[in-house]
Amino acid sequence: MSIQIFIDGKFFPKEKAMVSVFDHGLLYGDGVFEGIRSYNGRVFKLKEHIDRLWESAHTLMLTIPMTKGEMVEAIVKTLKKNRLRDGYIRVVVTRGVGDLGLDPRKCPRATVFIIADKIKLYPESLYQKGLEIISVATTRSHPETVNPQIKSLNYLNNILAKIEAVNSGYEEALMLNAQGFVAECTGENVFVVRGNELLTPPPYLGILRGITRACAMEIGTSLGLDVREEVLTRHDIYNADEVFLTGTAAEIVPIVKVDNRVIGTGKPGRRTGEILAAFRGMTRTDGHAF
Ligand code: PMP
């Protein structure tokens, strides 16, 4: 049976799950989304994801036509309908159907859809060997253009960076902000281990305030590391003892080379391994049971 997609309160099989070509999510990238994961029948950090979705929508003055409680129910219903205990959930709220102009007032009601599917796991070799990444010329959006803290449907900034990385033979791009400070990767936040310090760029530099990022910071503190948000340059990245990325889909990914500079020993670091293990422990026990 094909997967069942939630659209505005009803379920449709994947082949029949459609939104209008007049939806401003499609015409203008006008909308917000979340990527959430469930582990063994628990939705991990569900409240945090829902709060971030509402914050993104608030800035865009986009009214989500349901309560947060109803959103929780809709997500759980979608998982259950698809018999998924370990899944990846994509929640999308678009501005809705309007005319060909960009005026959001022409869109009377937001469109909400939820896709729950099997998570495509990264190969275990990625966590064993680590990943090599490259910094790219496309800078992260300035916070006063489209603030990277808004998880909006407009991901062209990240896609341009991804294209640059792929063109150079790499899977992931390190993005700087317009001032040349390290921001984040196209779909993950970045961390540096330096001695006893665990450092990550502050949100005001122009990053998404990642939920896995918050977990890594919490775990770092519990491991006795000095966890701080700090302005970092590429020099700081090249000379770190360890570098890793965090994200809902990727979890914690060790980085072993950046712009051909070997990081630390050139192998996934000890602290990165400890943080990954603790994170996987968290995903087994925390979360909204369904
Ligand atoms: N940065 C960007 C640009 C992202 O799209 C994401 C989510 N894929 C992240 C960071 C990581 O955020 P989270 O840990 O909440 O998934």
Give the CATH number of the domain where residue 280 resides.
3.20.10.10
- Type of residue at 28: Y
Distance in angstroms (rounded) separating the CA atoms of residues 209 and 200: 11
| pLDDT over threshold 80, residue 79 | yes
| pLDDT over threshold 80, residue 154 | yes
**Same domain (yes/no): 57, 129:** no
**Same domain (yes/no): 104, 244:** no
SS3 93: strand
| pLDDT over threshold 80, residue 1 | no
**Does any ligand 1 atom lie closer than 6 A to the CB of residue 177?**
no
Question: Does residue 289 sit within a domain?
Answer: no
Read off the pLDDT of each residue in 150-176 and give the average, rounded to a whole number: 98
Q: Which of 57, 89, 117 is a domain's end point?
A: 117
What is the pTM for the complete model shown?
0.98
Distances (CA, A) of 49 to 22, 75, 194, 251: 27, 11, 30, 15
Distance in angstroms (rounded) separating the CA atoms of residues 3 and 22: 25
The atom number, within ligand 1, closest to the CA of 248 reads 16
Residue with tokens 């010329």: 137
Query: What are 50's two structure tokens?
Result: 């829902």
Question: Does residue 290 sit within a domain?
Answer: no
Residue with tokens 């990642």: 210
pLDDT digits (tens, 9 = 90+) for 167-183: 999 999 999 999 999 99
Distance 99 CA to ligand 1 centre (A): 31
Question: Does residue 236 sit within a domain?
Answer: yes
Asked whether the CA dihedral 118, 120, 121, 125 is positive or negative, the reply is positive
One of 80, 118, 151, 267 is an active-site residue; which one? 151
**Same domain (yes/no): 129, 188:** yes
**Same domain (yes/no): 82, 202:** no
Residue among 151, 152, 208 to mutate when testing ligand 1 (max atoms within 8 A of CB): 208
Share of the chain above pLDDT 70, in %: 100
**Same domain (yes/no): 14, 97:** yes
pLDDT class of 120 with cuts at 50, 70, 90: confident
Distance in angstroms (rounded) separating the CA atoms of residues 220 and 253: 15
**Same domain (yes/no): 93, 215:** no
pLDDT class of 286 with cuts at 50, 70, 90: very high
Provide DSSP, 171-227: S-EEEE-TTS-EEEESSSEEEEEETTEEEE--GGGT----HHHHHHHHHHHHTT-EE
**Same domain (yes/no): 20, 141:** no
Question: Does residue 256 sit within a domain?
Answer: yes
**Number of domains into which the chain is organized:** 2
**Same domain (yes/no): 77, 206:** no
| pLDDT over threshold 90, residue 121 | no
Residue among 248, 276, 279, 282 to mutate when testing ligand 1 (max atoms within 8 A of CB): 248
**Does any ligand 1 atom lie closer than 6 A to the CB of residue 30?**
no
The atom number, within ligand 1, closest to the CA of 184 reads 1
Range of the domain at 136: 124-284
Q: Which of 117, 136, 157 is a domain's end point?
A: 117
**Same domain (yes/no): 140, 279:** yes
Give the CATH number of the domain where residue 75 resides.
3.30.470.10
Is 68 catalytic? The answer is: no
The atom number, within ligand 1, closest to the CA of 148 reads 3
DSSP state, residue 250: T
Which residue minimizes the CA distance to atom 8 of ligand 1?
Answer: 187
**Same domain (yes/no): 256, 140:** yes
**Same domain (yes/no): 28, 135:** no
pLDDT digits (tens, 9 = 90+) for 42-63: 999 999 999 999 999 999 999 9
Which residue minimizes the CA distance to atom 2 of ligand 1?
Answer: 187
Distance in angstroms (rounded) separating the CA atoms of residues 231 and 18: 43
pLDDT class of 164 with cuts at 50, 70, 90: very high
Which residue minimizes the CA distance to atom 10 of ligand 1?
Answer: 188
Q: Which of 88, 117, 146 is a domain's end point?
A: 117
Alpha helices in the chain (DSSP H): 24-28, 46-59, 68-81, 124-129, 156-167, 211-222, 234-238, 270-285
Helix, strand, coil percent content, the chain, rounded in steps of 5: 30, 30, 40
